[in-house]
Structure 1
Amino acid sequence: MARVWRFGADVNTDQIVPGRFAPYVTSEAELRKYPFIEARPEFAPSVQPGDVIVAERNFGCGSSREYAPQALKLVGIGAIIAPSFARIFYRNALNLGIPLFEADLPQLSDGMELELDVGQGRLQVGGDTIQLPPPPAWMQEVWNIGGIVPYFRTYGRFPGEAAS
């Protein structure tokens, strides 16, 4: 079972990984220490692989720091669900292979246990099933393979480009 990590609206990339820590990030192991280090110090040491962030609108706003979604991936976040995302954060997360779903789920609270079927966009919470907007097939492929770079290395093209 995965855990819900609940966040409010307008969570910005400086909250995810404060910019002042950027000079100290010299490795992936180092980057794993910083997600929400100031906003929720218990986050990074407590996240388990597959845990899900559920937030309110405009998740990932602020500076276009790729290390913000990268840090979330490194600690094991399995998906992020919010009614809306900052455009650059959304693209960076997709490029890194982090599943993102646009949905408003006020009924989910911090610490709840759930199961997420990423491919079907289906959440099981207690006895309830919540259907999220299913992702297009190409996006699932990018998620499954681990991001846009592994996708390109595997297929020799980007999603949507004709095979040569």
Structure 2
Amino acid sequence: MGRVWKFGDNISTDLLCPGRVYHLRNNLDELAKYTLIDVNPDFAKNVKQGDFVAGGIGFGTGSSREYAAIVLKHLGVKAVIAQSFARIFYRNAINIGLPILEADTSQINDGDELEVYLENGIINNQTRGNKLKAFALPPVMLEILNDGGLIAHIKKNKGFKL
């Protein structure tokens, strides 16, 4: 179970990982301090291991900057739940081992406590006492996530298996 940090529509890769601090990419501890700083200056300081990020439409729009997903994982975000994702962010998140789910987030508020089950796409909102259904991830993506990301998956399987 984890706390929800709720954001709106079109949270871009530049909001997730601002370009002005991209020179810090070789020091994830420093780079992660700026995660979502222009939307919620307290996020990086207060997010806890196992918390969730929820967004609206177009989460991860913008550049192909994979550090936008990496900083969330580095901060301990357990999963990102949004109504829709930019395709490149979606793939980057899976590739680095950050779970993501597409669901109607209108029934999730900032600060809610969630339990999330990736295998079947069930989201239990403990605060509101309701259950949401996300689009379940395909089995190969679950395997990649369970292995810790695409590189770990390829190493484990001595190549890529579908």
Check whether TM > 0.5.
Answer: yes
C-alpha deviations, 1:112-148, integer Å up to 9, x for none?
1111122232111133222222212111111111100
Cα root mean square deviation, aligned: 1.3
- Counterpart in 2 of 1:44? 44
Deviant stretches of 4+, over 3 Å? none
- Counterpart in 2 of 1:84? 84
Give the C-alpha shift of residue 25 in structure 1: 2.9
- Counterpart in 1 of 2:66? 66
Match among 134, 137, 141 for residue 136 of structure 2: 134
User: Under a length normalisation based on structure 1, what TM-score does the superposition of the two structures give?
Assistant: 0.92
Matches of 1:16 and 1:152 in 2, distance apart?
27
Matches of 1:100 and 1:33 in 2, distance apart?
22
- Counterpart in 1 of 2:123? 123
Task: Structure 2: state its 5+ residue gaps.
Answer: none
C-alpha deviations, 1:24-75, integer Å up to 9, x for none?
3322222221211222111111111121111111100011111110001100
Matches of 1:10 and 1:104 in 2, distance apart?
15
Alignment partner of 1:56: what SS? coil
- 1:12-27 aligned at under 5 Å gives the runs 12-27=12-27
Give the C-alpha shift of residue 76 in structure 1: 0.8
**2:139 maps to 1:155:** no
Task: Structure 1: state its 5+ residue gaps.
Answer: none
- Would you say the 8 A contact 2:25–2:67 is kept in 1? no
